[in-house]
Structure 1
Amino acid sequence: MTAQTYETDFLNWTQEQSALLRARHWDALDLEHIAEEIEDMGREQKLALQSLLRQILLHLLKLALSPACAPRAKWTEEIIEFRDQAQTRIDATPSLKHHAPELFAKAWPQARRAAQKSFELYHEQVQVPAVCPYSIDQVLDPDYFPESSPASDQ
């Protein structure tokens, strides 16, 4: 019955499983789906951190490379917000820190593509570097911000 509920009404399934766990009805638990959901929760934590790293990288690139003047404060605010979110996740789930280098490596090509598309969309003649110019420590450092683009300083 509980495996069928998993497929048809996930919320109801979670309620049933938590009640069975609390009542210690081990034989009635849907162990296969419980294991799958626990694995998915861990995967979601990693994906969320990867997404935040991507966003930080994207905004660092915009801040460093874009000749645009107006959105700079907004990009800085967003970097601060994404860093805070990333740090909150790492603090709440310390083992995420061990996965950060792998997630950082996956986030870089995504951020690079997004930055290049963004620059093209606004007809900015900017070439995003092929190799990430930032270390993971810089990306997560709340006090690190890249030098501005020379064109934006004029």
Structure 2
Amino acid sequence: MQQSLYDQDLYGWATQTARLVRERRFSEIDAVNLAEELESMGKTELRSLESRLVVLLEHLLKWQHQPEQRSKSWRRTLIEQRKRIGRLLDDSPSLRPKLPELLADAYDSALRWAADETGMDESDFPPTCGYSIQQLLDADYYPDT
């Protein structure tokens, strides 16, 4: 059984498929794999957003619960994650409605990471996210103790 170009060389397949689309040679397109790759791209963007939310939330928790440990590094991380999240949402506005559902899972991971990083117990942090989406995305928002 001969392998398809998709199975042999993903980059080559993607380049060829893009060329075929541009040339409107739709009958020659590997539609099944193209559909899978497009769906995969969307999932990758969603996972990237969730990952950035985890890092943002972890640093907000540390910022709020260990004010004596605040550093320029933490501030830079908050700035950078907010900037990257903003770019993701600008590039893919359809991700914005997904934020509430992503927030719960992201907070759970961030809580564990923050507890591990600080040496504090998970019960020292709120059990659910107390930050609004607006606060999370606000470049000027830094929680007080």
Aligned mates of 2:68, 2:48 — CA distance in 1: 29
- Alpha-carbon contact 2:58-2:110 (below 8 Å) kept: yes
The Cα offsets for residues 108-135 of structure 1, whole Å up to 9 and x where unpaired, read as 1010111111122xxx567222122212
Q: 1:139 aligns with which of 129, 132, 136?
A: 136
The letter of the residue matching 1:87 is G
Quote the residue 1:72 is aligned against: 71
Quote the residue 1:152 is aligned against: none
**TM-score in terms of structure 2 length:** 0.89
3-state SS, counterpart of residue 61 of structure 2: helix
The Cα offsets for residues 38-85 of structure 1, whole Å up to 9 and x where unpaired, read as 11111111111111111110000111112543x522111210111011
Q: Residue 128 in 1 paired to residue 128 in 2?
A: no
- In percent, how many aligned pairs have the same letter? 35
Provide structure 2 residue ranges, at least 5 long, that are not aligned to the other structure: none
What's the CA shift for 1:6?
A: 0.7
Off by >2 Å, runs of 4+ in structure 1 = none
The letter of the residue matching 1:97 is R
Aligned mates of 1:136, 1:93 — CA distance in 2: 17
The Cα offsets for residues 1-22 of structure 1, whole Å up to 9 and x where unpaired, read as xx71111110111111112112
Aligned mates of 1:98, 1:138 — CA distance in 2: 16
Quote the residue 1:4 is aligned against: 4
The letter of the residue matching 2:140 is D
- Alpha-carbon contact 2:53-2:106 (below 8 Å) kept: yes
3-state SS, counterpart of residue 93 of structure 2: coil
**TM-score in terms of structure 1 length:** 0.84
Aligned mates of 1:27, 1:93 — CA distance in 2: 29
Aligned mates of 1:133, 1:5 — CA distance in 2: 49
The letter of the residue matching 1:65 is H
Provide structure 1 residue ranges, at least 5 long, that are not aligned to the other structure: 149-154
